[in-house]
Amino acid sequence: MVAPRCPYGRVSFQEFTGWCTNPVYGVMKEVYKVSPMLKLIKRISFVFILALLALRTVEAQTTQTDFDNDGVSEYVLVSIQQNQALNWSYTSALTGISSTLGSIGSTGDHLIIAPWKGLSSPQIGVVSLDDTSGALLWKIINDQSTMEERELGSDGDTAISGADFNGNGKADAAVARLKKGRVEWSISYDMFDRAVGQENPSTMRFGVAGDRIFFASPDGAFDWLGVAGKNKKGRSQIKLKNPLTGESRTISKFPGFISKGARPRPFPVRQASGIDVLGFTKKKAGNTEVHFHNFDGSRIAIGTLPGTGDVIVGNFTSSPGEEVAIKTSAGFTTYNAFDGQSSSVATADGIPTDHININTLRSESGGGDDDDDDDDSGGGGGPSDVASCNSISSWPSSHIYKTIGSHHFTDIRRNTIGLILKPGTRGPFPNCISMVDRNGKVAAYLGLYATGNGWAARYYAGIGCGSSTAYNGATVARNAERSSGSPNVYANFGGKCYGPINANRCIGSSQC
């Protein structure tokens, strides 16, 4: 018998039962009549597949950064040591107790914390660029405290970590790049459960130059590929594609800000059902607004977090679904879009991170192809307009940049970069600013030391939010050059950026 075409594009047991499965909704459809024996097999298959779907749902809802098995996420922090090594730790969201996780990676690496091994505790890890071969090296510390390494992608690719594209509870690795104006994705399913050399990435094209790439689960079973951009009418739109079935969706009812200005990258926030909603950040008056939308474009909530640092996602409280959190000098503040509740936890210093990481790794010589539009959102090289900036202005005469502090300082400011704003400079003056390289990666944070007292505002690395980045100009320049191929950086004041400047050269000061 020749079986008819499965209407969902993916056949399961069709040769024996005449059934097709839609892995997106778990719906089953009989497409032709079968014998009594095959009907019995069909019933058994039905129960078996339902069990698989139930298991997949449980796996898809595991907490991504739960290291102490208490059922909630921990606040994971990375600190940069004097030798540029990365030390990892976490603070319990329930007890506030901090614990060390180990050391892996160095400045300029891309952080890839995720459950790479499945339902056990997540693993810390990094993606680094091999300067000799140009390959992207993915490294994790496994449950036996041993480092494992795999290779996926090359110079100029955008590394994507934390997604589970096949729904089995293990993180999948992916890279994206531009090829003749289209985004090409390569996915290595269960990469760290395969032998070295057996990664076998699956490649597909989805998205065009200028799109912001992301991943999210609209069904609670699989993560889908996502791109945010504009349609032919210039309206904001989200497009999704299931990499296993090829099913795609296009939604053109999202607000205009997702495709204008800073073009915030969407990120998934899981509901209690396991289905994601999309989050978008906007910097506003020294704070961070997080906008939450369903996949049909409808808005769920807008939450405001203090400061302008990186927003992370996790199941940090007992409230339904996941929360977003931001770190300030006082600790983490969380917000839950589904019940509107906020909470705060004091933590140790460090750079916050979660399982959602999408960054471009690029050497000085570049990478990419003949159609590279210099936009990291399409998977090509470094952006010509830094992704975290709403606007970029040339360095103003009102801003003094120092590679080391003044001689009369006796505290840590003596040896760190500083940014001093002359009297009359207009604010706002956020509590934390960042120096970002041309790829948008933070090379150092600077905390607000004071306003007034002869200056409009003064910022220094090594204090406040910059406690973990107590760097001088030479170190900042080196960090930027390793990540982006250039020592140039931009000063990011909550979305308004100034630059570029060479991080190892003073501006407006005769004292350094």
Decide if pLDDT at 303 tops 60. yes
Decide if pLDDT at 73 tops 50. yes
Structure tokens belonging to residue 94: 């329930």
Mean pLDDT of 127-146: 91
Structure tokens belonging to residue 145: 């405290």
Decide if pLDDT at 193 tops 70. yes
Which pLDDT value is given to residue 1? 27
Cα-based distances in Å from 461 to 80, 217, 420, 453, 482: 13, 38, 12, 20, 19
Q: Which of 60-64, 175-179, 321-325 has the lowest mean pLDDT?
A: 60-64
pLDDT tens digits, residue range 366-412? Answer: 444 433 333 332 222 333 345 667 778 889 889 999 999 887 888 88
Decide if pLDDT at 266 tops 90. yes
Mean pLDDT of 52-68: 57
Decide if pLDDT at 19 tops 90. no
What does the domain layout of the chain look like in residue ranges? Answer: 14-60, 74-271+349-360, 385-502
Q: Which of 13-17, 133-137, 176-180, 186-190 has the lowest mean pLDDT?
A: 13-17
Q: Indicate the SS3 state at residue 341.
A: coil
Mean pLDDT of 31-48: 44
Which pLDDT value is given to residue 25? 29
- What does the angle CA 83 – CA 86 – CA 88 come to, to the nearest 5 degrees? 145
Are β-strands 125-129 and 110-111 bridged in parallel, bridged antiparallel, or unpaired? antiparallel
Decide if pLDDT at 7 tops 70. no
Q: Check: CB of residue 454 under 8 Å from CB of residue 423.
A: yes
Portion of the chain with pLDDT greater than 70, in percent: 81
- Mean per-residue pLDDT of the chain: 81
Residues 6 or more apart whose Cβ sits within 8 Å of residue 328? 306, 307, 309, 431, 432, 465
Mean pLDDT of 77-90: 87
Minimal CA–CA distance to 24: which of 222, 284, 279?
222
Mean pLDDT of 113-130: 89
Which pLDDT value is given to residue 286? 80
Instruction: Measure the CA–CA gap between 285 and 180, rounded to whole angstroms.
Output: 39
Which pLDDT value is given to residue 209? 86
Mean pLDDT of 241-257: 94
Mean pLDDT of 28-50: 42
Decide if pLDDT at 76 tops 80. yes
Mean pLDDT of 33-59: 44
Sheet containing strand 311-314, strands side by side: 311-314, 323-328, 331-335, 342-345
Which pLDDT value is given to residue 118? 79
Cα-based distances in Å from 115 to 31, 45, 153, 292: 38, 30, 20, 25
Decide if pLDDT at 478 tops 60. yes
Portion of the chain with pLDDT greater than 90, in percent: 48
Are β-strands 267-270 and 276-284 bridged in parallel, bridged antiparallel, or unpaired? antiparallel
Beta-bridge partners for 280: 291
Name the range with the highest mean pLDDT among 70-84, 268-282, 305-319.
268-282
Instruction: Measure the CA–CA gap between 81 and 414, rounded to whole angstroms.
Output: 18
Minimal CA–CA distance to 167: which of 115, 112, 97, 236?
115
Q: Check: CB of residue 38 under 8 Å from CB of residue 17.
A: yes
Instruction: Measure the CA–CA gap between 248 and 117, rounded to whole angstroms.
Output: 28
Q: Which of 48-57, 287-296, 436-445 has the lowest mean pLDDT?
A: 48-57
pLDDT tens digits, residue range 88-111? Answer: 999 998 888 889 999 999 877 889
Minimal CA–CA distance to 284: which of 395, 392, 430?
430
More confident residue, 264 or 239: 239
pLDDT tens digits, residue range 422-438? Answer: 998 887 888 899 999 88
Instruction: Measure the CA–CA gap between 493 and 495, rounded to whole angstroms.
Output: 6
- 410, with CB counted inside 10 A (0-12, 13-18, 19+), is exposed
Q: Which of 118-127, 152-161, 186-195, 267-276 has the lowest mean pLDDT?
A: 118-127
